Structures are given as C-alpha cells and as structure tokens.
Amino acid sequence: MLFGVHVSIAGGVQKAPANAQEIGCEVFQMFSRSPRGGPAPVLTKEIVAAFQTEMKANSQAEAYIHTPYYINLASADDKIRNTSIRIIREELERASILGVKCIMTHLGSAKGIERSSAIGTVRAGIRKILDGYSGAALFLLENSAGSGDVVGNSFEELKEILEDISGSSRDVCGVCLDTCHAFASGYDLRTAENIKKTLDEFDRIIGLGYLKMIHVNDSKAEFNKRVDRHEHIGQGHIGLNGFRALINEPRLKNINMIAETPDDERGDQAGDLEVLKKLRSNRN
C-alpha cells in the first residue's frame, strides 16, 4: 500500500515525478493533457525517456493518469460522446507509451436520457475505446458521487458496464474506488465494520479482483447526500477512524491510494500524505 496525490505537469509530464517526490509521494496521479480541452502535448522520445528517468530518480513506484474533466460517455450529444471516446483511447495509448500503470475516468452524465439507455450508451462507448487496444495501461472506471444524472455511483451500475466487456479487453479493465464518492452514494466507510460490509458488497457484486486503486478523500458532505465535495483526511464526515480502518483492512494491503484533497486554509496535500503514512505506520 503506497500513497500519493494528484500533481502538476507544468513544464511537461517529465516534471511530474519530481513534483510528486517534493510533496512526499510514493506514487502519483497526473493529467497528461489540459483537463479543460485542447490537443495533447506530443510525447517525443526525449520526453518519454526523461519521464522514465525521473520516475527512478525520484523513487516513484507507479504513476496514473486521470482523464480530462469534460469526458462524458453518457451524453446524448454525438460530438461530446465521440470526442470522449477518442480522448480516452488517446490517454490509454499515451499511458502505455509513458509506462504509466493505468488511467481512470468518470463516466459522465445521463441528463435528458433514460437511465438504462444511458448505461447502454456508456457500454457501447467503452467497446469502441477498447476495440483493438493492445497497450499495457489498465482502464479503470471511477465510481461517482451520485449527484444529478451522473452514471456509475452504484456497484450494480459499474458491474453492468464491466460485464459487457468481453475477451482480452476484460483483462485491462478495473475500478478506481473514490471514498468520498462512495460515502456520498450511501456506502458507509466510517467504521471497520462498515468498511468490511462495503468491501463485501463490492466483492459480491463486482469482485475485489477488479479493485485496482483507491482515491482516498474525506467528505465535506454528510453521509448519502449525493454531493461530491472532497475534504482533508480526517477532517470530514468519514473521519480519521474511517481511514484508519480502511488502511488496516487486510484485503487492501496491496492497493495504492491517491488523495485528491484541496490546498486551502484547512491544510494541504503534503499534510494529508503525512496523515496517511502515520496511519499506515500504526497499523495493527
């Protein structure tokens, strides 16, 4: 179990490993392009080599890519949906070139579409994304907080999407579980008993073999409020006892965790990493 945060790629992706090491990361997450639009920077041989050299020089065990904010595989707008499919496939290929372990994506909003139809649209989009893909990077679906018409907040919906993927494509797929999103969607993570119950449910519905990484975020919003607002570790409604229990859960001992917490008057990412590492050092 290793910890990290989402870091900047200002100056190029090759700068990310040093940015991660400076904060105290053991692993890290990044964007490989602007999260708000525009073409992706070209990954030259020199940039790729520099990135891989910097990974080793800064003792980073793994790196992950988050897809841009504008991704929406559930959109009724063909242009938005097709652009999302193209960008995700590009990110998979870019991750494979860089030697990044996996990419994760939000699935999007089904606004104006009947829910079952939206799930079918997402499934069709993922089939297109993975058609002919032979790269090494894994493709992870991130659970949502359940606000509005956003798809993928329940384990059942994630299962419905994953079970449509067949053949070798299934082997490159998995789930990134966001603790704030899960808590907002009605999966209680405040005690060891409830964490066990939630993981048991995940295992029964999806299978723990599909759980590849965790976004470890506390929640500003109360339980089951369907609101996505991240808080510093131990300062939200999940609380320090919840994260202590999460890190002590034996089934998660090989799952790496990325904090996506804010830098504000209440704390910063480096502080959250220190809290997580302290909880890990005090594991039973």
Catalytic residues, by residue number, are 36, 66, 69, 106, 142, 178, 181, 215, 228, 230, 260
Q: What is the DSSP string of 226-246?
A: ----EE-TTSSSSHHHHHHHH
Q: Which of 136, 129, 135 is nearest to 105 (CA)?
A: 129
Question: Do the beta carbons of residue 68 and residue 31 sit within 8 Å?
Answer: yes
Contacts 24+ apart (CB under 8 A), 270-273: 270/23, 270/24, 271/232, 272/5, 272/232, 272/233, 273/3, 273/4, 273/5, 273/23, 273/24, 273/25
Q: First-to-last CA distance in the chain?
A: 14
Q: Which two tokens stand for residue 283?
A: 């594991």
Beta-carbon neighbour count of residue 220 at 10 Å?
19
Three-state DSSP state, 92? helix
CA distance 178 to 176: 6
Question: Do the beta carbons of residue 94 and residue 129 sit within 8 Å?
Answer: no
